[in-house]
Structure 1
Amino acid sequence: MALTLSKNQSISLEKTGGAGLSKITLGLGWDPVKSGFFGKLLGGGSEIDLDASCILFDENLKPVDLVWFRQLTSKDGSIKHSGDNRTGEGSGDDESIYVDLQQLPASIKYLALTCNSFTGQNFEKVENAYCRILDTAKNTELARFNLSDKGLHTGVVMASLTRGQQGWEFKAIGKATNGRTADDLVSLAVEALRG
């Protein structure tokens, strides 16, 4: 059974997924706020274009690579993005990032999962936002982080993966920011990883 994490909680993927964990999926889902007939007439309840991104850092928190809708595969090929979902409609993950932990270069110590609104829509217009981590081979959810914070922000550092002596650790972060692209969120991701 998957764990639901609160802000700043973390879990060991080795303990949760088992020692054989080699491929994971980071899933991001959201829905546009439904505001009824009159809300739609006034501009509510429209499509929401959020973008999931994964920023790769070395042990000194220097950004090494970025996987997002403009670069769907990491330079080394270990991380792949499912592609851009521009609406948030439908059930399940709206965007996914696939990580081959065995292919990930040893120089990569941190992965930061971010989410931002390229079109500038704020999180007052988003509901049911979450990120989750799955064991890809078993198609089982290991942990989930539900993002309930509403606000005028346009981006969030959702979660991180950190490589340690005992394997990978997944941490729920949920740090709100303003930014329309993953590039805008790099410095905040560094700050969140240090915290």
Structure 2
Amino acid sequence: MAINLEKGQRINLEKSNGSKLQNICVGINWGAIEKKGLFGTKKEAVDLDASCAVYDEKKNHIDSVNFKQLKSNDRAIIHSGDDLTGDLNGDDGLDNEVITLDFSKLSASANYVAFYVNSFRGQDFKDIPFASIRIYEGTPTKVNEEFARYDIANDATFSGKVSMILGVFYKRNDEWKFNAIGVATSDKKLEQTIVTIQQNHL
């Protein structure tokens, strides 16, 4: 049963049978903006970017995965590719971008893996008709078990913002856990969000 994530919530990475998750996917699904005009409604493409930043025990930034770099240096984290439009014909229920993470392949120096979302063209989160992020076990094309979901389109605190920090996987006693952050930021660029996470959320 998936948890609807709340800010500050910490969850253990356990499957329903009690075993630990080794492979997870973070998927983002969103829609194009509908604009009403004189001749009916037209669709405005939305380019959200799912990204991930890796930090070591001392909170130094050591790797990134995003639309510019689709694989981490240790090949543990893989991005499905850049979606420039969102769902143009309503919610198809599928993720537009997916980042997969294999904990067993992560570099030993990795202590934090943070996920965040930026609106590339600066389109306000409040104008996007639907946008949700989910964390699940499986592959980009097959969901085995969804265990957390975050609805960003219906959160009033995201109004006027163009980037948000989903949360951070962190290592404690050689076990990985997840801290749901769900905070909107004023960052306009990926590089700024990496620093914001480093300073405030690890």
TM-score range, shorter chain: 0.7 to 0.9
Task: Give the match for residue 176 of structure 1.
Answer: 184
Whole-Å separation in 2 of the counterparts to 1:40 and 1:57 = 48
Whole-Å separation in 2 of the counterparts to 1:68 and 1:17 = 32
TM-score, normalization by structure 1: 0.87
CA gap of 1:15–1:40, structure 2 versus 1, over 3 A, is same
CA gap of 1:154–1:17, structure 2 versus 1, over 3 A, is farther
Q: What does 1:18-167 correspond to in 2, within 5 Å?
A: 18-36=18-36, 45-89=43-87, 90-136=92-138, 139-147=144-152, 148-149=155-156, 150-165=158-173, 167=175
- Tell me how many residue pairs correspond in the alignment: 192
Whole-Å separation in 1 of the counterparts to 2:40 and 2:118 = 23
CA gap of 1:109–1:117, structure 2 versus 1, over 3 A, is same
Give CA-to-partner distance per residue, 1:20-75, whole Å, 9 cap, x none: 4211111112223435455976xx74111000000001111111001000000001
Which deviates the most, 95-104 or 178-187? 178-187
The SS at the match of 1:14 is coil
Which deviates the most, 102-111 or 168-177? 168-177
Whole-Å separation in 2 of the counterparts to 1:121 and 1:178 = 12
TM-score, normalization by structure 2: 0.85
Which deviates the most, 169-178 or 81-90? 169-178
Give CA-to-partner distance per residue, 1:84-112, whole Å, 9 cap, x none: 01111043211100111100012101111
Task: Decide whether the 8 Å contact of 1:157 with 1:176 is kept in 2.
Answer: yes
Q: What letter corresponds to residue 94 of structure 1 in structure 2?
A: N
Which deviates the most, 15-24 or 75-84? 15-24
* RMSD (CA atoms): 2.3
The SS at the match of 2:193 is helix
Gaps of 5+ in 1: none
Gaps of 5+ in 2: none
Whole-Å separation in 2 of the counterparts to 1:51 and 1:139 = 24
Q: What letter corresponds to residue 135 of structure 1 in structure 2?
A: E
Whole-Å separation in 2 of the counterparts to 1:17 and 1:186 = 35
Task: Decide whether the 8 Å contact of 2:35 with 2:44 is kept in 1.
Answer: no
Whole-Å separation in 2 of the counterparts to 1:32 and 1:181 = 21
Q: Percent same amino acid at aligned positions?
A: 34
Whole-Å separation in 1 of the counterparts to 2:198 and 2:100 = 22
The SS at the match of 1:184 is helix
Task: Give the match for residue 199 of structure 2.
Answer: 191
The SS at the match of 1:91 is coil
CA gap of 1:102–1:47, structure 2 versus 1, over 3 A, is same
